[in-house]
Amino acid sequence: MVKYGLQRSIRRSKAHNITTSQYYRELFAKNKELKENIDKLLQKQTDAKKKLSQVKYEVSKEKFKNAKAEMGANLMDGVNSLFGNPKVKQQLSEIEQLQSEITSLKDENHTLKTEMQTMQKEYNTTTNKLRAELKKIYNLFPNLRELFLLKGCVAWSALFRRLNKTDFIG
């Protein structure tokens, strides 16, 4: 049993063993929960990226509108100075309104960037914890990966391949 990394128990110890099937049941449940958590975090990250790109698009669109409005206002100022038209005040108020919209969109963009960074940190922290847990499991049971492959668990095999791609397993 030494070749499998097992040791004899201490006599008269109050520790008790669980069955192999119970252990694997708990291990599979824990791994399934960890995978679900990773998937949820990945979905949150994707949603935040989509929202950020949408806000960036809106900000650039507003910048373009502002540039157009400013150019139009300058043109109208030149024409109005020649003819003396009261629309200048109206256009100036529109320009101020557009500039305030731009400011609010920039603030929203900054807030979304901060939120995305927070979510990224949370994702990285959780991923690192999961990797540490998985390393502990492999350290406790070094032949576990081979056992899963021998059992023909296609899902576990795919998970191991995915984990090996991220270079955090043994």
SS3 helix, strand, coil % of the chain, rounded to 5?
A: 85, 0, 15
Measured CA to CA, the distance from residue 141 to residue 123 in angstroms comes to 27
Task: Please report which helix (H) or strand (E) contains residue 107, including its range.
Answer: helix 87-140
User: Torsion-angle region of residue 84: left (phi > 0), alpha (psi -120 to 50) or beta?
Assistant: left
**pTM score, two decimals?**
0.35
- How many other CB atoms sit within 10 Å of the CB of residue 109? 15
pLDDT in tens, the chain (170 residues): 567 666 666 777 776 778 889 889 989 999 999 999 999 999 999 999 999 999 889 888 888 888 888 888 777 777 666 665 566 677 778 899 999 999 999 999 999 999 999 999 999 999 999 888 888 887 888 777 676 666 655 565 566 666 666 555 44
Contacts of residue 145, defined as CB under 8 A and 6 or more positions apart, other chains included, come to 138, 160, 169
C-alpha distance from residue 109 to each of 43, 67, 77, 79, 147 (Å) = 20, 19, 33, 37, 49
